[in-house]
Structure 1
Amino acid sequence: VLDIYTGMHDRKLAQALGKKRRELMIESPIYREILEEGLSKGRAEGEAEGLRKGQVEGARKAKLETAKAMLAEGIAIETVLRVTGLDRESLEGSAPEE
């Protein structure tokens, strides 16, 4: 019986100490500084990745618009594909549905 009580007491004590430790850590200026630094770095990396993806998507859209204009002028599709670097599936997949 004493072992069970001691085990429960130890577990509760460990939980209480863990909670207090977390509270003290969160209140620490160093912890806050590290947290802010991590958040700032994460935001910067996210913005950079978003910008990169936006540039890639923008370049793809520009190629598609150029290809559509070339096709509208009667330029052969093989020439359009060669000049724009697009593949046939990309070009055909971008055609507006009628």
Structure 2
Amino acid sequence: MTTPLTLTAGRRPDGTALLTATGEIDMSNTEALAAALDSTSGPLVLDLTGIEYLDSAGLSVLFPHAERIELIANPLLKPVLTISGLADLTTIHDA
């Protein structure tokens, strides 16, 4: 059974947009993630600390935004982000 994706928008203390995602990112909910990313302009911190699963459909949504996003990722996601090449295109911080 999959864990639904929850997206929460906010701001960091320095004013940078923050999008916190929890649950699983897969082909069933990438439209919601894409809409959230598209609705935020400028630099964005995407907190993936609460993501338990990220598939290739989810990765494909992140790549077009790689130049303007920074990711916060749990250790489980680090290999996926590295192997996909996304780690070479954006900054990834440890959770």
Note whether the superposition's TM-score is higher than 0.5: no
* Bigger CA radius of gyration: 1
Higher RCO (C-alpha 8 Å, min separation 6): 2
Report the structure, 1 or 2, having the larger helix content. 1
TM-score (norm 1): 0.24
Instruction: Looking at secondary structure, tell me which structure has more strand per residue.
Output: 2
Please, what TM-score do these two structures have when normalized by structure 2? 0.24
